[in-house]
Structure 1
């Protein structure tokens, strides 16, 4: 299915559909449809961008942080998963990897066409993995591509562990260090800026309804804050950002980003300060 939208989908209606999708029973032999949608005349909202920069730690600029276009178009992949032919319950899907590439930083004053599509799916040991691609184009040229890999867990999953990430330095070799505390309300603060109101991030009570002991930080906030800290430490305007999400960051939390320059890239990992736990690892170049 391919569709063209006249306006961004309503976040409230999408979350109502996400809650309603809990009734979906996909069974074992799951086949995901190839779905695509498109939205023209997309432009950054100045107030949202300012709020996003503030909560993630980016300095205000004329260009968009590398993580922001995916956040700005977040409703489009959600819209695809809300379609009746998509067989999986939306709130049972976990974001496991992301690769973002841009030919140049996107400007805040430009107007883009954005396409989102569900592409490949594959059985892995933990369940069914699938890819969601978001692309920004201007005058027919693709400037920005985000490939988000998600998983629907199935206890009898078979196959490999998904695509192999680019080689990165082991965390023990990451010699530079930035520590920070993450407050209990960070999920609500980021939700207001990023428009991602998944209940597992908002309060301890709503997170417990989905099996978590406390609210957890948005993975895209953790990634964005790492990218902001790396640019603060001297990393150039990035063209590529890769990440693997590991273990949830419970709120409040005490964490540290370890990093090291590795050729043209900065390898990094977000780890717990008081436990043997890694929340994510990645590379920015």
Structure 2
């Protein structure tokens, strides 16, 4: 079922609705419905964009950061998952990875059409993974797309151990220090429209089993992309990120990266990983090209 909205919904209001989904108790293997939402002629909020650049470290530009359409679509992601036909509780879902592709640099003054749909679902070792697919078009031509993969933890058939990322990380040679202040989660929540309590404060995070609040995965991904942006030629075309372990706030980390073959010429690009500063913990791995 596809729904066309006249305007973007309010993410703040939808988070109140999301809290009520804790009552959802799916049994067996949940079956996800075919749901989609469209919104046309969406304009960029200059105020939101400016604050997003500040929080995530992006320099001023005529083009949007490659991750910015994700936050523009955040309310639509919530709208899908708070639909009564969606069977899973939102609190406790785990953000696993993102694949973002843009065909060209997106102008901050353009008008965009958004189409967000539930995609494939599959059983994995930890439970049930599902995709949310976002397409952004201008005059019917797709200019940006994203596959966001999320995990619902549940008993599943045992599979082989998850491959450790350390082997790939060991080949990376360059470092940039990263520091995330205690208020990073609250600052990002305002511009990223993600008010999950695990990101906002220590006491709200402890309600969900965390010792302290943690950085948003998409803040970490955007911050890495911002630090690497001037190391590739022109606007990036692809950002792939796999989220591994949380970054507790306040926290320090190291962005480790390597210019792969073809970096700066839209080839393999830059392989990178965000590592804990005092352990072998890997927060995320990815590629920007």
What 5-or-longer segments of structure 1 have no aligned partner?
none
Counterpart CA distance in 2 for 1:74 and 1:11 is: 7
1:171-193, Cα deviation, whole Å (9 max, x unpaired): 11111000122111110111122
Counterpart CA distance in 2 for 1:105 and 1:168 is: 33
Q: How far 1:105 sits from its partner (Å)? A: 1.4
Normalization by structure 1: what TM-score? 0.95
Aligned to 2:77: 77
Aligned to 2:198: 200
Q: How far 1:235 sits from its partner (Å)? A: 5.4
**Contact 2:12/2:193, CA 8 A, preserved across alignment:** no
Alpha carbons of 1:160 and 1:283: their partners in 2 closer, same or farther (altered >3 Å)? farther
Structure 2 residue matching 1:180: 3-state secondary structure? strand
Q: How far 1:159 sits from its partner (Å)? A: 7.0
The list of structure 1 runs, each at least 4 consecutive aligned residues, that deviate by more than 6 angstroms after superposition, is none
Structure 2 residue matching 1:158: 3-state secondary structure? coil
1:57-88, Cα deviation, whole Å (9 max, x unpaired): 10011110000001111110110000001000
Normalization by structure 2: what TM-score? 0.93
Number of residues of Structure 1 aligned to a counterpart in Structure 2? 280
Aligned to 1:239: 237
Counterpart CA distance in 2 for 1:115 and 1:186 is: 29
RMSD: 1.7
Counterpart CA distance in 2 for 1:182 and 1:250 is: 9
The residue correspondences of 1:76-155 to structure 2 (distance < 5 A) are 76-154=76-154
Aligned to 1:12: 12
Counterpart CA distance in 2 for 1:236 and 1:201 is: 33
Aligned to 1:31: 31
Q: How far 1:42 sits from its partner (Å)? A: 0.7
1:129-164, Cα deviation, whole Å (9 max, x unpaired): 00001110011101110100000000x213768xx9
**Given the alignment, which residue of 275, 281, 285 partners 1:271?**
275
Q: Does 1:63 align with 2:63?
A: yes
Q: How far 1:16 sits from its partner (Å)? A: 1.1
Structure 2 residue matching 1:255: 3-state secondary structure? strand
What 5-or-longer segments of structure 2 have no aligned partner?
262-266
Aligned to 2:209: 211
